[in-house]
Amino acid sequence: MAELKPYMGSTYYLWLYLPSIPAAVIFAILFAIATGAHCYRLFRTRLWFCLPFIVGGIMEVIGYCARAAAHDQTDQLTPYIIQNMLILLPPVLFAASIYMVLGRIILAVHGESYSLIRPNILTKVFVAGDVASFCVQGGGGGIMAQGGNASTGEKIIVGGLIIQIIMFGLFIITAALFQRRYQKYKVDALVYDTMGWKASMLMLYGVSALIMIRSIFRVIEFAAGQDGYFLKNEWTVYVFDSVLMLIVMIVFFWFWPDNLKQTQDVQWTSANGTEINLGENRNGSSDGRFGTPNYSESVSK
């Protein structure tokens, strides 16, 4: 019968509970199904910027398999580190695709002048922050893998998670300000509604919020350490991490961003017969102020 065992015969325990085999297997299967669905969508639409979601999903599957294997090996470092890191890191990969979706939304609706950061730079800035978070969390996991340095590794992981939370906070602010400015100032904003970009924006807000909640939970978990409630109770991992990340994969699959294709901006004709590019704002500039010129509703292609 499985029982908790100290690491290398010492007084230190890697686990503070016996990991549940049924729970780990169930989530390994669920993430495998979600990952398979993402693979289908990816190869059908060839939106390669969504590939990080598949890599993250594969990591989740392996992580939960390792967690199930750890049930009978609570004194072994290898399954503990594998499950810990491969369940901890996937949200960083999910975030990379999420950041790139916003850039494509801005380009698809010709809203470059309404974004605080140019789309080509926006993606690079947030993905760079994402890579930094990934490296810091991975480095913390590497220190933990050496054995006997769990406290130091946990502190480094907390630092990586804080980077992730900050970047997501800035991302949500950037996305919200873009949508507000775009809908307020762009003359032909309604023309692009059939593209479904607003639904894609809501998807971004939703999955970003879920990942932020999960990251805050992980910060509290690691900051509290071995004496904290979260590390002593397995249900918290499944409620505040597993379930939330599975929902993120499902929501992203459901609102798959294959609708975000850049089209030629619309040309309208004014009352005096002058063609006007409605990619500009209402006074023909990009400073956010506008007048109310008289446009006729005849569109010239």
pLDDT at position 180 is 92
Residue that is written with structure tokens 């480094």 in the block: 156
Angular region, 118: left φ>0, alpha ψ -120 to 50, beta rest: beta
pLDDT at position 243 is 98
pLDDT at position 264 is 53
**Spatial separation of the C-alpha atoms in residues 42 and 49, rounded to whole Å:** 9
pLDDT at position 68 is 96
275-277, strands of its sheet edge to edge: 275-277, 267-270, 295-300
> How is residue 1 written in tokens?
């019968």
Least confident of 5-19, 42-56, 60-74, 279-293: 279-293
Half-sphere exposure of 167 (CA within 13 A, CB side): 27
Strands (E), 19-58: none
State which of 139-153, 213-227, 230-244, 268-282 shows the largest mean pLDDT.
230-244
Asked whether the beta carbons of 54 and 256 are under 8 A apart, the reply is: no
DSSP letters spanning 99-129:
HHHHHHHHHHTT-GGGSSS-HHHHHHHHHHH
> Is the per-residue pLDDT at 229 higher than 60?
yes
Asked whether the beta carbons of 295 and 270 are under 8 A apart, the reply is: yes
Q: Tell me which amino acid residue 144 is.
A: M
DSSP annotation of 89: S
Q: pLDDT-based confidence at 251, cuts 50/70/90?
A: very high
Asked whether the beta carbons of 79 and 73 are under 8 A apart, the reply is: yes
pLDDT at position 186 is 74
> Is the per-residue pLDDT at 289 higher than 70?
no
Q: pLDDT-based confidence at 295, cuts 50/70/90?
A: very low
Asked whether the beta carbons of 37 and 253 are under 8 A apart, the reply is: yes
* Global pTM value: 0.83
The CB density around residue 223, as the number of other CB atoms within 10 Å, is: 15
Give the bridge partners for 281, in sequence order.
186
Half-sphere exposure of 122 (CA within 13 A, CB side): 27
Residue-wise pLDDT tens digits, 204-224: 999 999 999 999 999 999 888
Least confident of 43-47, 91-95, 138-142: 138-142
* 288 compared with 209, residue with greater pLDDT: 209
- Euclidean distance between the first and final Cα of the chain, in Å? 74
pLDDT at position 211 is 94
**Spatial separation of the C-alpha atoms in residues 130 and 133, rounded to whole Å:** 5
Give the bridge partners for 269, in sequence order.
275
